[in-house]
Structure formats: C-alpha cells, structure tokens
Structure 1
Amino acid sequence: VFLSDRRKANEGVIYTAAEAYLARNGDSTTLIMLSGMAQRLDTERNRLATAKFRDFSFDISPLVSSGDAIDPSVSAMVTPDLLWNWGEVAAQTDTTAGVVAEELHGRFAQPLFCLVAAMIGFATLILGGFSRFGVWREAVIAFGLLIAIDGLRGTMVVQIRETAALWPLAYLPSLIGAVLTPAMLWQAAHPRWIRRRLRGKGAAA
C-alpha cells in the first residue's frame, strides 16, 4: 500500500505498508496500515526522516467524501449514453455535439483501424516477396502507408468536431485501408499482371 501526503507545501510524507484495511465509524473513514514505514521529507532543510511502524491509522475521510459536484466528461461517459441526444450530452458536458460524435465513433473507428493497420502490414510483406536483403523495404513502405492514412484520420477528427453530421468520416481511413489491402493481396497473387498490361499497351502502340 502506498500513500503520499502532499498537503503541506514544505513537507511531504510517504507511507508504505505491507497491507491495510479500511475502517468506517459513522461518517469518518480510517485507513489502518500494518507493517510499514513513514518517510517525512522537510524541503526547507532538505532532511529526510524515516520511521517504521507495526500499525498506523490515517484519517482519509476528506479523500472519500466530498460534497463538491464533479463535472461530467465526454471521455468518461459510457458508450450507450453517447448513442442518442448529442445536443443534450454536449450541454451537460459543456462541449459541442461534434466532440460527442467524434468521441462515440472514435471508440469504434480506432479499434477497426488497428485491424486494418495489421492487414496493411501483412499485405505489404506478402507483396514484397522473398529477398536476401530482408524485409526492411516492405517495412518502410508499410510504415509510410500507415503514417499517411493515420494523418488523414487526424484531419477527419477536426472536421467531425466542427460538424457532427460528418461522423461517417471517422471510418474513412479504415475504409481506405480495407480497399487497399485486398488490392495489394491480389497484386501479390498476380505479380505478372502489370507487366502483361504494359506489354499489351506497347504492342498496340
């Protein structure tokens, strides 16, 4: 158990214990720590004092009970609460409907983009084929593609936050990757297709 007391500007106390228990007595809550040590640092004199204890009690009532209202945050809300009434949620959290829309669809688009990113890397390695010099070239190409698509995703985030109706743009980077991956795999399965096309055009000319 680790507890840091920084309430005094010129003094800091750190408590560590092998185990601890919470004890309630009415409205007060006490933390009882067993087999631990207290370290008190005096920042004015730059002195550290330590003391070991078998048991020690600490009143943590101000930490667990507070009458202050906590302002809600969009990022801290569960997904079902963000599905409907974006305007109402925006008013509760003192933000805009676009931010709510971006937060909601970002929770679906980001995991989807992770899957697409893995597929792009796989397709790039397959497209490169075997080389005695390793796969560094394919790795650089995959890295460049992901940077380009992820940069597009950052631009889409700005657009969605400004206009909530543009929320489908959150899935555009994943859609681009989903289209690019089968195309790369098809090209890997038909490596001579481009050469035949070029030869056909050259013969026709």
Structure 2
Amino acid sequence: MSRFDGYFLRQLLVLFGFFTLVLVGVFWITRSVSLFDRVISGGQSAMVFLEFTALTLPTLIRTVMPMAVFAAAVYATNRLSRESEMTVMLATGSSPWRLARAVFIFGLIAGLMMAAISVFLRPASVDQLERRQAEVAGDVTAQLLNEGEFLHPAPGVTVYIGQIDLDGTLHEVFVSDRRDDANPVSYSSTTAYLVNNDAGIHLVMVDGVALRLNEQDKTLSSTLFEDASYDISELTSSGDMAHRSLEAIPTVEFIEDIEAASATYGFTHGQLVEELHQRFSWIAICITVALVGYSTLMLGSFSRFGLWPQIFGAFTILIVLEGVRGFVAPIVIDDPKLWPILYGPGIMGIMISCLFLLVAGRPLIRQRNRQDVAVPSPV
C-alpha cells in the first residue's frame, strides 16, 4: 500500500466513524423517545431503559452503517478532488482503478464489521431483547405500582391505587374485572397488600366491598369483606414471547439444519433462507456503496464548486439498488432456490462501479465526445 493509499484510507475511516456516530445519535434520539415513554410508563426504572437501548444498538448500527460508508466515500473523494489532490495523482499517471484500491479496502473493512454485527451480534441482541421484554411484561408488580393512575394490565381489567407507602402498603385500591361479560365484578378497599408465594401473586384487600353485576337478572349485589384475595397472576401480559422472532434465531442454527429450525420455530423454508442470505448480503452492500460513491464522483472533472451532479447520481443509484433489494426478497421467500438473486443488487452495484471506473480511466473518450459536440457544423 502506497502512502497515498494509506492517506486516503485514513480519511475514509475517520469520516466513516464520524458519520456513524452522527447517524446513530440522530436515529437513537428519534427511537428512544417512544421507547422511554413505554418503559417508564410501564413502571420500570431508567436502568431497564438503558438496557433496552443498548440491546437495540446492533440493529440501529446495521441500519445506518451503509449510509455512513457511502457518505464517507463521497465526502472524502469530493474533498480530495476539490483540493486538487486527486487531480495531481491522476496527472502523475495513477488511474482511477489504481486509486480505487483504498476504497475497496475501506469497503472490505466495513463489510467485516457488518459481518460481525449482522451475522452474530444482532441476532443475539434481538434474542436477549425479546427475553427481557417478556420478563418486563410479566412483571405484574411493576405494572400495578403506580399511584393515582388507572392502569389496564390486561384486557377487561382496570386497577387504581391511590397511595403506596414505603413499606408496600396500598391505599384506596379499586379493581374492575370485566373479563366475564355475564358477571363483571368490582372490588374496592381502603388498604391492600401484594403477596407473592408459590401459588402466584395475590392482591390481598382489607376492609372493602365487592360489587357483582348479573347481566341476566340485571341485579347488582354487594358483599362487604374484612379481607379478600384476588389472583393477579393471570394478568401477566407476556403473551407468546417464548416464540422466537425470525431476526432472533442464531445464524448457526440456519447453517447447521435449516429444516429443523423451520420445524422448531414455525417459519417457512423460504423465510429462513431469505433471512440467512440477507444477513450475508449486508456485507456486499458495504463494499458496493463505497465503490459506487467513489466511482461516480470520478466521472466528474475538477471543479471548485464540488461534484454535486455526480453525488446526486450516486445517491440515485443507491436508491435504485435498494428498490431492487426490496423487490427480490419476496421472490426468494416464495422460491428459496432463487436465493442467489439476493446478492444481485450488490453485484449490480459493483458492475456499475467498474463501468464508471472504465469510463473515468479513458478521459480521451469523454474529451473526444465533448469536442464532437462543441465543433460547429460547416456552413
């Protein structure tokens, strides 16, 4: 690697780190607002919010990394061109193909980082996130211990607690259970306690009244009690969280026996094949976006105003390639044997980059075409 390659590569890596931090920060702030509201309103602590945020970072980084790679390649190439460094290198005999070596190495480094995230880190983080969400959703105590709020821990159930003492005593407790439409019941008590034992979680209410409505007879009966136990174990809203999502399945299970994974998790063979190759296709995307950003800008000539038409063209190419990726995914789900087309957008981008570098490496062709257009026709 020459000094210029090392210099160019350092510029790319520094800009890549900068754009990654900026994009992750912007997307993190956008997503964390809704996440913070859901976690805190569910009675959880700020540590749970930070844990959930950390577990979502691999997914967020995978999303923004191709954008950061493209922005770094475009910005570095544009700056070297604007400061005439690229022009000097081309004048000394270096071809665009030769200068693309640093960009290819940069794309390869980004692809290796993407491989670690997409193939290993993201499935593990999604799996852990789903487990923690199930635990938090099943934490009935955290869902109920909110003063002065009407809470709905389950469909048809409403709970209100007026005050909570430091020793855990609950005051002004109201529970409305409408899960049985024929016999809805409401409990009200001055004090109550949460008791967790082997039989489950119970709300023990003291000095209260139970109101039961009989829909058939249209009668309301009331029962005064000194103490009553209400089982709230069934109010856990964990749902079917034991079922892994497609993104949470480890890549090793895909590779070892994809048919066993299909039978275990209930996904079709096409869905598993598409997910597996999508994880690896992100590696090729990192290399592609770096080469597209560089090669498109190499088509432009020196200008102190920058290479904005070429930048817009490179961005348009990426939009087209992303559209192709979204188009081929359903095809692979329907017919898993067509999985090679998932790598088609990456291969298309590399071929377009090679074509642009071929044109950029033959400036006489472009100059001759411009001269042919500029020469006036004889009178």
Q: TM-score range by the shorter chain?
A: 0.5 to 0.7
Q: How does 1:92-131 map to 2 (within 5 A)?
A: 92-131=264-303
Q: What pairs up with 1:51-200 in 2 under 5 angstroms?
A: 70-193=242-365
The one-letter amino acid of 1:75's match is: E
Whether the 8 Å contact between 1:157 and 1:170 is mirrored in structure 2 is: yes
What code does the residue aligned with 1:169 have? Answer: I
Which segments of 5 or more consecutive residues in structure 2 lack a partner in the other structure? Answer: 1-35, 48-144, 151-159, 167-195, 202-237, 373-379
Deviation of 1:181 after TM superposition, in Å, equals 1.0
State the 1:186 CA deviation: 1.7
> Relative contact order, CA 8 A, sep 6+: which one is greater?
2
Counterpart of 2:355, as a letter, is A
- Runs of 4+, deviation exceeding 3 Å: 2-6, 13-17, 194-199
Larger radius of gyration: 2
2:354 corresponds to which letter in structure 1?
P
SS of the counterpart of 1:128? coil
The offset of 1:41, in angstroms, is 4.6
Note the C-alpha offset of 1:84: 4.2
CA RMSD of aligned residues (A): 3.6
Report the TM-score, using the length of structure 1 for normalisation. Answer: 0.63
Structure having the higher strand fraction is: 1
2:148 is aligned to: 42
| In structure 2, C-alpha distance between the alignment counterparts of 1:14 and 1:89, rounded to whole Å | 34
8 Å contact kept, 1:72–1:92 = no
- Name the counterpart of 2:110: none
* Preserved CA contact (<8 Å) 1:90 1:96: yes
Distance in 2 between the 1:173 and 1:99 partners? 19
Higher percent of residues as helix: 2
Gaps of 5+ in 1: 7-12, 18-38, 52-58, 200-205
Following the alignment from structure 1 to structure 2, what is the Cα–Cα distance between the partners of residues 79 and 171? 18
State the 1:69 CA deviation: 7.8
Aligned CA distance change for structure 1 residues 127 and 69 (closer, same or farther; 3 Å): closer
> Matches of 1:174 and 1:48 in 2, distance apart?
60
Count of equivalent residues: 158
